[in-house]
């Protein structure tokens, strides 16, 4: 794990400092379909959150030999997922929003079908994902919403759908729920190691259309809650780019 992390970090620094004389800079914008799979081991249960997101980034395509390239990059990823769960007679609607910084390093092979006109490429490699902000909003039977920080486990706000509910009552309920949250240890990790792979097309030497899939290999749940639960994150995407 440490070797992969150091490789990704070194590649990102290399790209950022612009030391690669044979590199081509590329910018990309992607539409993503994020997915989070939650598993409870005992008793066994599994469900997932699906959603939509965006990814904006840049990379360096460094030529090695023939069609081989190494492509380190830096991306901002916004993911929004939702799931509806029925538990103990209550309908629970969950929305999770994540703001992430991704540092991929791809090994790419480019097939120049018509030089400077049309090319096909395949790529795969690891990516380090760093969470900056992550929040979950939970609606319980359309009666109230709870907002909490996934990294700290702290309830940030509570909103009753009944307009007659005063702020003091909301604070009182928040104070009663927070110890339960703390006892569960319901927090998530900021870091994930992911595998990213895909294929793309390059037109007129510059314009790109790509398709890919990313899946995480680290359990995102942290602390005690992770002893009986795990969550893996993944996303498919389609993107457009320009290579200078």
DSSP 61-123: EEEEETTEEEEEEEEEEEEEEEEEEEETTEEEEEEEEEEEEEEEEEEEEEEEEETTTEEEEEE
What is the model's pTM? 0.83
Return per-residue pLDDT of the chain as tens, 244 residues: 565 555 555 555 555 554 445 678 999 999 999 999 988 888 888 888 999 999 999 999 999 988 999 999 999 999 999 988 877 777 889 999 999 999 999 999 999 999 889 999 999 999 999 999 999 999 988 778 889 999 998 988 888 777 666 667 777 777 778 887 777 778 999 999 999 999 999 999 899 999 999 999 999 988 667 678 899 999 999 999 999 9
Classify residue 33: in a domain, yes or no. Answer: yes
Classify residue 121: in a domain, yes or no. Answer: no
Classify residue 230: in a domain, yes or no. Answer: yes
Tell me the CB-side half-sphere exposure of residue 198, using CA atoms within 13 A.
Answer: 23
Domain count, the chain: 1
Classify residue 61: in a domain, yes or no. Answer: yes
Task: Give the separation between CA 181 and CA 150, rounded to whole angstroms.
Answer: 11
State the burial class of residue 62 (Cβ atoms within 10 Å of its Cβ: 0-12, 13-18, 19+): buried
Classify residue 120: in a domain, yes or no. Answer: no
Range of the domain at 60: 2-114+129-243
Classify residue 119: in a domain, yes or no. Answer: no
Classify residue 124: in a domain, yes or no. Answer: no
Kindly state the tokens that stand for 171: 């604070």
């Amino acid at each position: 794990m440490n070797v992969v992390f150091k490789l990704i970090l070194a590649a990102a620094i290399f790209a950022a400092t612009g030391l690669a004389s044979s590199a081509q800079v590329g910018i990309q914008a992607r539409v993503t379909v994020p997915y989070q799979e939650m598993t409870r081991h005992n008793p066994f249960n599994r469900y997932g959150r699906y959603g939509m997101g965006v990814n904006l980034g840049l990379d360096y395509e460094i030529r090695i030999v023939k069609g081989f390239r190494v492509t380190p990059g830096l991306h901002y990823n916004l993911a929004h997922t939702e799931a509806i769960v029925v538990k103990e007679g209550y309908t629970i609607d969950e929305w999770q929003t994540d703001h992430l910084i991704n540092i991929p390093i791809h090994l790419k092979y480019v097939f120049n079908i018509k030089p400077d006109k049309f090319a096909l490429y395949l790529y795969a490699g690891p990516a380090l994902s760093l969470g900056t902000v992550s929040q979950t909003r939970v609606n319980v039977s359309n009666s109230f919403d709870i907002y909490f920080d996934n990294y700290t486990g702290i309830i940030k706000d509570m909103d009753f759908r009944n307009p007659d509910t005063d702020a003091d009552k909301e604070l009182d309920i928040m104070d009663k729920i927070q110890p339960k949250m703390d006892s569960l240890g319901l927090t998530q990790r900021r870091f994930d190691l992911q595998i990213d792979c895909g294929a793309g097309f390059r037109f007129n030497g510059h314009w790109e259309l790509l398709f890919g899939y990313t899946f995480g290999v680290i359990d995102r749940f942290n602390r005690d809650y992770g002893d009986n639960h795990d969550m893996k994150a993944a996303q498919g995407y389609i993107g457009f780019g320009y290579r200078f």
